[in-house]
Amino acid sequence: MWRYIVKRLLLMIPTLVGILAITFAIIQFVPGGPVEQIVQQLTRSGVPGETAVASTQLIKGATGLAPDEIQQLKKLYGFDKPPLTRFGEMVWRFARFDLGESFFHHQSVGQLIVSKLPVSMSIGLWTFFITYLVCIPLGIAKAVRDGSAFDLVSSTLVLVGYAVPGFVLGVALLVLFGGGSFFELFPLRGLTSDNWATLPWWHKITDYLWHITLPITASVVGNLAVMTLLTKNVFLEEIRRQYVYTARAKGLAERTILYKHVFRNALIPLVTGFPAAFIGAFFTGSLLIETLFSLDGLGLLSYESVIRRDYPVVMGSLYVFTLLGLAAKLLSDLSYLWIDPRVSYEEGGQ
């Protein structure tokens, strides 16, 4: 197993570098980079002035820029070097977990990601836990009652929820319960109230839960169908296997067969996806949900970084997300070994 782990870790390196290289190459052909945006802003200002060099703003109030001033801008943002040189320097920084500094936020990319992480974690982790806690029992109940009225009605409800986009449901929830046109039961924005820091600890908890009710509902409903139907199909396949008929022939109770024999085998494909889903929950900030409920998380940060051509944030966040995604994939594969000892990753063992 250790040989397999080392091999997978080594394979992560070219995979990670390849993803960064493709994204970096695409960026080179995208018009409207940070230098072009600064030049456009300065040209649009229309106020003659002097050139002033500072840490965050090179030139103020110019109607036109001389070639040497544009060259200074390129040097400020690091675009005075060839693309291969810049790519090599970026990879070397990333290898030392130095993600660089944002062009527009004027702080390190690492600090920026960490500052936005609590919002995305609040949405992602609650969505993750609620989805698993609802879908697995519901999927088991549907498998046991396959073809019944309960199975038909529950399938219809979860599929309707899946068909409705999360942001559309979010708008409907705001209109109905956020003071839009009917009831004002929940707040419109943020994860906490403005006076949250002064509240007693029990009021902090209730205030936080009060604020996340609508965004979590909008995020969870669309996720229920896939996990519920997956759970149902996996359990239904196990229930129809020969060993279940043999256990029934021996006179075992249905409850014993379900929880002692079927449950362990059926949970293997569900549990093996747990590491990837859990790690992904930290970074599952939905741009539309965050925008709709005024939540400043990673989804909104990524969108703004692409629009503003904040390349250090784009590449730095991509590096972190890809690295964690590859680690989650490795943990998912290893979980097969922990759950089912019959699985082997040795040569010719699988």
> What percent of the chain is modeled with pLDDT above 70?
86
- Where residue 59 falls among pLDDT bands split at 50, 70, 90? very low
Over residues 300-313, the pLDDT tens digits come to 888 888 888 888 99
Calpha distance 132→137 (Å, rounded)? 9
pLDDT at 53 over 60: no
pLDDT at 191: 83
- CATH architecture under which domain 109-339 falls: Orthogonal Bundle (1.10)
Over residues 178-236, the pLDDT tens digits come to 766 677 888 877 888 888 888 888 888 998 899 889 889 988 888 888 889 888 998 99
- Where residue 54 falls among pLDDT bands split at 50, 70, 90? very low
pLDDT at 45: 54
Q: What is the token pair recorded at 23?
A: 């994204």
Least confidently predicted of 47-56, 57-66, 222-231, 232-241: 47-56
Calpha distance 337→294 (Å, rounded)? 43
Q: For the chain, which residues make up each domain, given as ranges?
A: 109-339
* CA angle, residues 131, 335, 120, in degrees to nearest 5: 40
pLDDT at 127: 86
pLDDT at 341: 64
pLDDT at 150 over 90: yes
Report the amino acid identity of residue 277.
A
Question: What's the whole-number mean pLDDT along residues 284-290?
Answer: 72
Query: Which is more confidently placed, 19 or 61?
Result: 19
pTM of the model: 0.76
pLDDT at 342: 65
Question: What's the whole-number mean pLDDT along residues 129-135?
Answer: 90
Question: What's the whole-number mean pLDDT along residues 246-254?
Answer: 86
> What percent of the chain is modeled with pLDDT above 90?
14
Helix axes 149-163, 201-239, angle to 10 degrees: 120
Q: What is the token pair recorded at 334?
A: 């290893």
pLDDT at 269 over 90: no
Q: What is the token pair recorded at 336?
A: 């097969």
Query: Which is more confidently placed, 65 or 160?
Result: 160
Query: Which is more confidently placed, 58 or 176?
Result: 176
pLDDT at 343: 64
E strands, 5-145, where? none
DSSP 8-state assignment for residue 257: I
